[in-house]
Structure formats: C-alpha cells, structure tokens
C-alpha cells in the first residue's frame, strides 16, 4: 500500500512539473525578458484591446516583434508603469463622493408671500395704533423689500454653489489629464526600452 501511495505521489509531482513548464513556455516565450516576472494569466486576459490602444498611444514593433510578443510586452509595461507612477488609468472609475452635511440650497419665499405676512403684521400694529390700513400698507412694502432681498440672496448662493461645483470638476479633469500624461510617459519609456517606437 505504501509503495502504491509513493508511486501515485511521484506521478502527481511529475504531472505538476510538466504542466507548470508548459504554462511557463506559453506565457513567457524564449528570448523575452521580464525583470518583474512574466505577466500573469489574469493580466493577459484583462482586455481584448491592447493597453496602448486604450491609452491612446501608438506602438510600432521596430525590431519585428510578433503580435503576441507585443501584447505581452505591452501588458508588462502597463504593470511596470502602474508600479512606478502608482496610477491605474484603465481601472474602473469610482462613483463620485457625496459630501455629507451639505445643506440643500435655501429656497426663499416668494416676495408676495413675504408681502402678505408683512401686511398682516402691519395691519395688526396699525390697528393697535388706530390706523389698520396705513399699517398694512407699510407692512406690505417692508415685506416686499425683505422678500426680494431673501430671493436675491438665495439666487446668489445657488449661483456660487454651481460655480464651485464647476471649478471642482474642471480641477478634477485637469488632474486626471496630468496623471494620464505621466502614466503614458512611463508606459512609453518601458516599451522604448523593449525596442518599440512609441508616439
């Protein structure tokens, strides 16, 4: 029984070594050098389009590299550039962060509403003073002025919030473009070192 177990273990070990060698020869063709090791299977299957085409970079195999070799070199250089720059421009974008405790813009009551409240208050004061009509007119005028100011302040606040959001979006776009440029430079430098012309 122990001799049979030993034979099975040996056969299993030989099978694992043969499979490992076959996988290594497929993912790392002879003559290709990868300082950080060859790209992994998940990296190779990451996308049907090449990293260069997704990044908007043109790559020419100046030393006559095969299409398979170019794909492997691009994947390796993508990972190398990612490690150098700590950026991953092809990663799925995260959902925008919602700022907590951000109050909604205040809606000012329409001037007519404020005027009616002012007229009611003015009429009450005028009745006490003996002239309800004059008090109502004064209260309505004061209410209209107050309502107009509140509405104008709410509009200015809303315009300021919209401008701040537009400025933040523009800054985020500029930062993303700068990071993409930095990543593309590292990606191109790696491919240039492997004998490709990159534009």
Could you state, in order of their start, the residue ranges of all structural domains in the chain?
Answer: 111-179
pLDDT bucket at 63, cuts 50 / 70 / 90? very high
Segment 115-144 shows an average pLDDT of: 60
Considering the entire predicted model, what is its pTM? 0.49
* Per-residue pLDDT, 57: 93
Considering the chain, what is the average pLDDT of its residues?
Answer: 73
Among 187, 166, 113, 98, which Cα is nearest to 143's?
Answer: 113
Q: Residue with structure tokens 């070799």?
A: 69
State the burial class of residue 136 (Cβ atoms within 10 Å of its Cβ: 0-12, 13-18, 19+). Answer: buried
* Per-residue pLDDT, 68: 94
């Amino acid at each position: 029984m122990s001799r049979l177990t030993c034979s099975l273990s040996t056969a299993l070990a030989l099978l694992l070594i043969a499979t490992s060698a076959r996988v290594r020869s497929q993912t790392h063709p002879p003559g290709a050098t990868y300082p950080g090791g060859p790209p992994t299977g998940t990296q190779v299957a990451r996308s049907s389009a090449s990293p260069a085409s997704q990044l908007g970079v043109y790559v020419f195999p100046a030393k006559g590299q095969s299409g398979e070799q170019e794909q492997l070199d691009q994947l390796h250089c993508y990972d190398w550039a990612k490690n150098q720059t700590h950026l991953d421009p092809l990663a799925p974008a995260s959902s925008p962060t919602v700022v907590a405790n951000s109050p909604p813009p205040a809606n000012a009551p329409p001037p007519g509403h404020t005027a009616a409240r002012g007229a009611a208050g003015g009429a009450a004061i005028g009745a006490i003073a003996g002239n309800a009509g004059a008090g109502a007119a004064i209260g309505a005028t004061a209410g209209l002025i107050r309502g107009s100011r509140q509405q104008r302040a709410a509009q200015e606040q809303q315009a300021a919030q919209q401008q701040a959001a537009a400025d933040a979006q523009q800054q985020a776009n500029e930062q993303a473009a700068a990071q993409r440029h930095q990543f593309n430079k590292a990606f191109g430098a790696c491919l240039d070192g492997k004998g490709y012309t990159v534009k």
